[in-house]
Chain A
């Protein structure tokens, strides 16, 4: 699609190259720093993924390491740690989807129903803030609040109760992760729904109210249908991005919870490759994740297009 569209516009403005160059050379100069960046810090590393097909030795380098075909992927297939990481990733993604996804929608509906603009602004100011805090800071705040020696457990101990190991229990780790995600990003994720709610035609509500529809019927028949496109779109994109569950969040908590619960595909790549020195296995896991993730995202985006949604990659531009 893209190619055909671009070639027709070329023909329309079918100037010779020299004329275009004289007209556009300053624009081309402006592209150079960005293109250089992309070549060095994106496309070169993309090519560097060939180490996934090598028995890579750092002292030999990419040029002199031996090729070993798909051996690294076979090794991954036989590696139970890799399957644990994949399972954890999928479980965490599913829990995030079930428990995180509805929260910003609910918050947006409540905030939208507020009559007082002052209360609304106050709430938004507070709710957006955590999005801008680093994961180190968020995990630290959780540790100081819920950790073994944290604020809440201190209170429990003072009240003569047993402390609860929120931060170190591998069984409840998915819930902890979702709680952190909600704390950090639910308010921020609300923005998009609030924006969609402002586009709802108020006269629809007025007409429905005049016809005797109560609060809940209006919510069900007007508000939710008008959010449907945004919800479907975000849902599809989230499913397309399912292999990325967040990286820093897990690397920061892997020590305290243990790799059994906190190892995800990204941390597996890091620990196997950079920390463990098995560069090729790490790169193979990273490449597999990248390729599957790209396919899922592309598929999700095509699905969004087919449903008539704009998606993230647009055809026109």
Chain B
């Protein structure tokens, strides 16, 4: 509803607003749409359109069948899913425990908090990280993609702020009834913080799924590559997904194969996005702004 004091906008002003917002939205949507359409397009569609297809007239999933017939993409998806699921589970558990323990005035609480906050200020650098991962024997192991990301300072701050706002009286009364700290965390604090824990978990999941540089740095073994590295190698750098890797003849147009790889990297995010969107404004703004 327009408040009474607000004048009706002039048509010119309306048009500019529509142009800016509409243009911005279209610039985001069109590339994504073209990628999805081209991945579903038949060879003839692609040849007729000269490369990219805005809307496939004969949709086919041949590109995906080809992509998944060889071991390459299936293996990469397994790697990415494993890293994302296990990484998120570990990271959420570690972050909840640490954030709760430092959200109350307890023994060692303050020095540990400072230990975490210092990570916001300084980054140890690529080379020392590489040397540590190497010393631990994690090179070429999927744990090198999981363990270094097991605690994000931003997610920690969001959770800790939320935990600090849980009323102390609630916890005190549970303690008087004989509940231990573990019980309080599991039975009172975590159920109260479901939404914000979901946000933090989704942020971690997106981070693990999207991580690219870790894999480039720590993994030489191409059979352990996650989806993002496949995307970089076969689409961005244009290395051809040759027949021996896929094992199917005849290959569909390389264009649609490449776009299918892009879609594989895109789909999990688009599927998670509605859940993310429902919560993040609430969770993140309360977490970050109240600080």
Nearest residue (CB) in A for B266 is: A137
**Are A48 and B34 neighbours in the complex by a CB distance under 8 Å?**
no
B27 at interface, CB cutoff 8 A: yes
Which of A33, A132, A214 is close to B94, meaning CB atoms less than 8 Å apart?
A33
Count, chain B residues at interface, CB 8 A: 98
Stretch from B57-65, B66-74, B114-122, B244-252 that touches the partner: B114-122
Taking A133-B266, A149-B51 as contacts, is the C-beta distance between A287 and B125 under 8 angstroms? Answer: yes
Size class of the A contact interface (CB-based, 8 Å): 35 or more
Taking A37-B150, A111-B21, A274-B127 as contacts, is the C-beta distance between A27 and B52 under 8 angstroms? Answer: no
A282 at interface, CB cutoff 8 A: yes
B15 at interface, CB cutoff 8 A: no
**Are B7 and A215 neighbours in the complex by a CB distance under 8 Å?**
yes
Which residues of chain A from 102 to 157 have a CB within 8 Å of any chain B CB? 106-107, 110-111, 113-115, 119, 122-123, 125-130, 132-137, 139-145, 149-151, 154, 157
- Alpha-carbon gap, A258 to B54, bound state (A): 32
Chain A at the B interface: mostly helix, strand, loop or mixed? helix
- Chain A residues contacting B34 (CB-CB under 8 Å) are 144-145, 151
Least CB distance from B75 to A in Å reads 18
**Are A62 and B131 neighbours in the complex by a CB distance under 8 Å?**
yes
B28 at interface, CB cutoff 8 A: yes
Nearest residue (CB) in B for A10 is: B110
**Are A113 and B209 neighbours in the complex by a CB distance under 8 Å?**
no
**Are A274 and B130 neighbours in the complex by a CB distance under 8 Å?**
yes
Which of B130, B185, B206, B216 is close to A132, meaning CB atoms less than 8 Å apart?
B206
**Are A137 and B110 neighbours in the complex by a CB distance under 8 Å?**
no
- Chain A residues contacting B109 (CB-CB under 8 Å) are 27
Interface string of B138-179 (1 = CB under 8 A from A): 000000000110110000000000000000000000000000
- Alpha-carbon gap, A150 to B52, bound state (A): 8
Taking A40-B132, A107-B24 as contacts, is the C-beta distance between A31 and B108 under 8 angstroms? Answer: yes
- Chain A residues contacting B273 (CB-CB under 8 Å) are 129, 132
- Alpha-carbon gap, A106 to B210, bound state (A): 29
- Chain B residues contacting A215 (CB-CB under 8 Å) are 7, 9
- Chain A residues contacting B277 (CB-CB under 8 Å) are 125, 128
B40 at interface, CB cutoff 8 A: no
Nearest residue (CB) in A for B160 is: A317
A41 at interface, CB cutoff 8 A: yes
Least CB distance from B36 to A in Å reads 11
Which residues of chain B from 1 to 43 have a CB within 8 Å of any chain A CB? 1-3, 5-7, 9, 17, 20-21, 24-25, 27-32, 34-35
A195 at interface, CB cutoff 8 A: yes
- Chain B residues contacting A98 (CB-CB under 8 Å) are none
B102 at interface, CB cutoff 8 A: yes
Stretch from A80-88, A168-176, A290-298 that touches the partner: A290-298
**Are A133 and B269 neighbours in the complex by a CB distance under 8 Å?**
yes
**Are B107 and A274 neighbours in the complex by a CB distance under 8 Å?**
no
**Are B125 and A154 neighbours in the complex by a CB distance under 8 Å?**
no
B128 at interface, CB cutoff 8 A: yes
Which of A28, A127, A136, A154 is close to B101, meaning CB atoms less than 8 Å apart?
A28
- Alpha-carbon gap, A283 to B229, bound state (A): 25
**Are A30 and B181 neighbours in the complex by a CB distance under 8 Å?**
yes
- Chain B residues contacting A62 (CB-CB under 8 Å) are 131
Taking A33-B97, A41-B147, A115-B2 as contacts, is the C-beta distance between A49 and B124 under 8 angstroms? Answer: yes
- Chain B residues contacting A26 (CB-CB under 8 Å) are 180-182
Which chain A residues have a beta carbon within 8 Å of chain B's beta carbons? 2, 6, 9, 13, 17, 20-21, 23-24, 26-28, 30-31, 33-35, 37-38, 40-49, 51, 62, 106-107, 110-111, 113-115, 119, 122-123, 125-130, 132-137, 139-145, 149-151, 154, 157-158, 183, 186-187, 191-192, 195, 202, 205-206, 209-210, 214-215, 247-248, 251-252, 255, 266, 269-270, 273-274, 279, 282-283, 286-287, 289-291, 293-294, 297-298, 310, 312-314, 317
Query: Could you list some 26 contacts between A and B, CB below 8 A?
Result: A26-B180, A28-B107, A30-B97, A34-B151, A46-B128, A48-B129, A51-B131, A114-B17, A127-B25, A127-B28, A129-B270, A132-B273, A134-B228, A135-B210, A136-B210, A137-B266, A154-B50, A191-B285, A192-B285, A195-B281, A195-B289, A205-B6, A274-B130, A290-B123, A293-B122, A314-B291
Extra contacts besides A135-B212, A137-B231, A154-B50 (17): CB < 8 Å:
A21-B107, A31-B108, A34-B94, A34-B116, A37-B151, A41-B132, A47-B128, A106-B20, A126-B25, A136-B210, A137-B265, A151-B52, A195-B285, A279-B131, A286-B125, A291-B122, A294-B122
- Top-5 shortest CB links A-B: A34-B98, A48-B128, A286-B125, A134-B210, A45-B124
